[in-house]
Structure 1
């Protein structure tokens, strides 16, 4: 006898694995950007803008998966207040 729920369970597991993998990759980008920002300093506008962009994308990714609170990751990834203050801001292109 064919059990359709067995097929959907396998698919659900595959989807969950992809979500975890993509979230891990986004977090790795945040870690790299925060490391570069720590080296360059928050006065470096390029590093700061990149950090804001990467963190914003990571937070959107987390929210799409269902994680609405970011306080713990802000602390654990050492995301500085200067980054948080400019999340979602788009710089004027010339």
Structure 2
């Protein structure tokens, strides 16, 4: 009995096949990192919305802005350049966006 390699690897050398596997691994890690960054945005925004203490607000705004900034950077690393939809989806407050330099 003989085995054939998958059709997408039939013409590829071993080095190309290994690079393709590495490329898939990198894409999977980018997606996982994007998910973790999104989770952090959700958590920091929830703390900001749920806390009524005015003395804590600047710290919570700073944490939320850092989380959103990291999320935007991770999105851009994944090739996603426009953030309008996620700003609406996460309902990111203007006070957080202002800390990022957005209008």
TM-score range, shorter chain: 0.7 to 0.9
- When the two chains are superposed, the root-mean-square deviation of aligned CA atoms in Å is 2.0
Q: Does 1:12 align with 2:40?
A: no
Give unmatched runs, 5+ long, in structure 1.
89-94
**CA apart distance, 1:65:** 2.4
Q: Does 1:30 align with 2:41?
A: yes
In structure 2, C-alpha distance between the alignment counterparts of 1:70 and 1:2, rounded to whole Å:
37
Mark the structure with the bigger radius of gyration: 2
Which 4+ stretches in 1 moved above 3 angstroms? none
Q: Which deviates more, 3-12 or 78-87? A: 3-12
**CA apart distance, 1:2:** 7.1
Aligned to 2:73: 60
TM-score if structure 2 supplies the norm length?
A: 0.76
Give unmatched runs, 5+ long, in structure 2.
1-10
